[in-house]
């Protein structure tokens, strides 16, 4: 991260207060992935508080999800039956497919998806075809998007509204040391799946996965299970001094889900459209984005033939 980027980060964490959402979500159907804890849980609580018609908690652990459902119902006094808990394990392509099929079969319409589920591993773990950070944060996220786009498009045609699919990213995309532009043509995923490189600097893999998914919203540095579990003393100190509360960070997710065409494909931070990493704005960065998409699309086609037609 450059000195100017770090200065902006400090200013944001110390002086920018994110607005609490106030608009009504009556009649809306919302999915929040990774909603059994952290930012996803608090974003789900906001939706329940604001009168959402149907709220799907998409979680890996159904028992934990049921406890969150009870907690949100108690704290918001939302109507019984508004919140449903559905199984979604982003580490399994089959689980993503099953979840998407359930959405398409059982939901009358779909207005907002907050794709919050993610991993921040520090060591290499093979999940499906790639390292876990790449599989969960990137491939499964776009697999889910591709499989839900028909429902989102059908909702738009039926209601005359603009549904949104929001991917939760991170300022960590500015910090990576790895030079994606130096990777040979067609070798981005295979290079990122190198165990020796990941184990040497696993934290960089998280930033890389976030750089590669950067049509996103950034909630800032927040307290969460993901950050609280890291064992770096320096990072824990930074969390203690600078991190937003989980609830405040979740406001950015709800804000992003409510935005219109002006936010499409854009990076949102501090509840505003912002420029992402300067690398992405360069000619070289744009070329890398195109190469990533070609490889990702090919991978997604292998998982679900014909999915490219949904984008």
CA distance linking residue 224 with residue 151, whole number of Å: 31
* Strands 272-274 vs 164-168: parallel, antiparallel or unpaired: unpaired
Q: What is the pLDDT of residue 229?
A: 47
pLDDT of 246: 85
pLDDT for residue 220: 52
* One pLDDT digit (tens) per residue for the chain, 311 residues: 556 666 666 556 565 678 899 999 999 999 999 999 999 999 999 999 999 999 999 999 999 999 999 999 999 999 999 999 999 999 999 999 999 999 999 999 999 999 999 998 889 999 999 999 999 999 999 999 999 999 999 999 999 999 999 999 888 888 888 888 899 999 999 999 999 988 887 668 888 998 888 756 666 555 555 544 445 555 455 445 445 678 988 999 999 999 988 888 888 888 888 888 888 888 998 899 999 999 999 999 999 999 999 99
Catalytic positions, written as ranges: 169, 206, 210
How long, in residues, is the chain? 311
Q: At what angle do helices 62-76 and 38-49 cross, to 10 degrees?
A: 40
CATH H-level superfamily of 20-303? NAD(P)-binding Rossmann-like Domain (3.40.50.720)
Which tokens in the block code for residue 264? 């499409």
Would you say the C-alpha torsion 54, 39, 118, 289 has a positive or negative sign? positive
Kindly report whether the global pTM for this prediction surpasses the value 0.85: yes
């Amino acid at each position: 991260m450059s000195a100017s980027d770090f200065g902006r980060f400090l200013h944001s964490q110390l002086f920018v207060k994110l607005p609490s959402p106030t608009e009504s979500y009556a009649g809306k159907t919302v999915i929040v992935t990774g909603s059994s804890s952290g930012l996803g849980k608090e974003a789900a609580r906001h939706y329940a508080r604001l009168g959402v018609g149907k709220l799907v908690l998409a979680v890996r652990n159904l028992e934990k999800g049921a406890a969150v459902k009870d907690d949100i119902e108690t704290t918001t006094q939302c109507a019984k039956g508004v919140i449903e808990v559905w199984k979604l394990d982003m580490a399994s392509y089959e689980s993503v497919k099953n979840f998407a099929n359930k959405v398409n079969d059982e939901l009358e319409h779909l207005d907002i998806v907050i794709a919050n589920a993610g991993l921040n591993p520090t060591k290499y773990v093979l999940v499906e075809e790639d390292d876990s950070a790449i599989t969960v944060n990137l491939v499964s996220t776009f697999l889910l998007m591709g499989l839900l786009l028909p429902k989102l498009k059908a909702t738009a045609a039926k209601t005359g509204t603009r549904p949104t699919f929001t991917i939760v990213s991170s300022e960590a995309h500015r910090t990576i040391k790895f030079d994606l532009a130096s990777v040979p043509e067609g070798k981005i995923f295979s290079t990122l799946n190198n165990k020796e490189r990941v184990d040497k600097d696993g934290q960089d893999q998280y930033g890389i996965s976030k750089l590669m998914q950067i049509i996103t919203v950034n909630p800032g540095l927040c307290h969460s299970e993901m950050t609280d579990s890291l064992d770096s003393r320096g990072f824990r100190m930074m969390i203690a001094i600078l991190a937003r509360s989980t609830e405040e960070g979740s406001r950015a997710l709800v804000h992003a889900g409510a935005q219109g065409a002006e936010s499409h494909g854009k990076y949102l931070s501090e509840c505003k459209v912002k420029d992402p990493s300067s690398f992405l704005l360069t000619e070289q960065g744009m070329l890398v984005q195109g190469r990533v998409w070609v490889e990702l699309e090919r991978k997604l086609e292998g998982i679900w033939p014909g999915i490219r037609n949904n984008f």
